[in-house]
Amino acid sequence: MTKVAVWCRHAEDNIIGIGPHIPWHIASDFKRFKRITTGQNIIAGEKTYESFPGRTLPERDIYVLTFNADYEVSDPGHHFVVTNIQNFKDMEGDFYIAGGASVYKAFMSGSARLLPDIIVDSVYRGELAPGLSGPRIDITPCVETMLKNYRRMSAEYELDNVVTSVWVKRGDFVEQSVLKRIIQAIEEE
Ligand SMILES: NC(=O)c1ccc[n+]([C@@H]2O[C@H](COP(=O)([O-])OP(=O)(O)OC[C@H]3O[C@@H](n4cnc5c(N)ncnc54)[C@H](OP(=O)(O)O)[C@@H]3O)[C@@H](O)[C@H]2O)c1
C-alpha cells in the first residue's frame, strides 16, 4: 500500500484554504490533480468532500473521513465513510490524500504507519484571491515535517506560477511504479 499526499499551498504562509475556498483558481493545477488521481482511491475530509462539485470526483473512489458514522455520501457505490483514520494502516491498495488541512495533519502527526510515503508538493507563488471571508487554513506543521523527514525525488516543475515537486519519506522503500506514474502525470503538462 502506498499513501500519497497531494496539495497545493501558498508560498511562505502555507495557506491551502480560506473558509471553504481554495484562494486561487489555476486550471493547470486542477488538471494536474486530476491526472495524478484519476482511477485511484482518494481520501478527503468531510469539508473537502462537501466542496467537490456534486460531492464527487469522477472515476475515483472516495474515502470520506468523518466522525459521523451516519454521514451520507452522494454515491454509496464508490464513496465510503471512514470514522477511524487508523483503519488506513491496514487497507490494501494505494491512497491519495486530498486534504483538507485537518486530514493532512492527522496523517502527518500520527503514527509512523500513517505518514504518506510520497508527497506531491505544489507551491503557488501568486497573490491570494481577494474578498474571501473565513479562517485562513494552513498546513505549516505538515510542511515542516516534509522538510525534515522527506527528500525531494524529482525536478521542480513550474507552470502558471505553481512549482511542483515530489518528495519521498527518508530511509523507506517506496513503490517505484507509483513514483514513476506520478512523475509522468506531472511531466505531461
Ligand atoms: N489547496 C489544497 O490543496 C486543498 C486541498 C483540499 C482542501 N483544501 C481546503 O482546505 C480547507 C478544508 O480543510 P479543513 O481542515 O477545514 O477540513 P477537512 O480536513 O476537509 O474536513 C474536516 C473534517 O474531516 C473530518 N475529520 C478530520 N480528521 C478526522 C479524523 N482523524 N477522523 C475522522 N474524521 C476526521 C471531520 O469531519 P466531521 O466534522 O464530519 O466529523 C472534520 O470536521 C478548505 O478551505 C478547502 O478548500 C485545500
Architecture of domain 3-187: 3-Layer(aba) Sandwich (3.40)
91-117: pLDDT as tens digits: 999 999 999 999 999 999 988 999 999
For residue 50, the ligand 1 atom closest to its alpha carbon is 20
CA of 136 to the centre of ligand 1 (A): 13
pLDDT band at residue 142 under the 50/70/90 scheme: very high
Whole-structure pTM value: 0.98
Cα(133)–Cα(110) distance, rounded to whole angstroms? 30
145-158: pLDDT as tens digits: 999 999 999 999 99
Residues with C-beta less than 6 Å from any ligand 1 atom: 7-8, 16-17, 20-22, 45-48, 51, 65-68, 83, 85, 98-103, 106, 137
Given a cut of 80, is residue 189 above it in pLDDT?
no
For residue 66, the ligand 1 atom closest to its alpha carbon is 34
Instruction: Return the exposure string of 4-27: e unless at least 16 CB atoms fall within 10 Å of the residue's CB, then b.
Output: bbbbbbbeeebbbbbeeebbbebe
How many H helices and E strands in the chain?
5, 11
Q: Where are the domains of the chain?
A: 3-187
27-80: pLDDT as tens digits: 999 999 999 999 999 999 999 999 999 999 999 999 999 999 999 999 999 999
Cα(100)–Cα(84) distance, rounded to whole angstroms? 16
* Residue 18 β-bridge partners: 21, 136
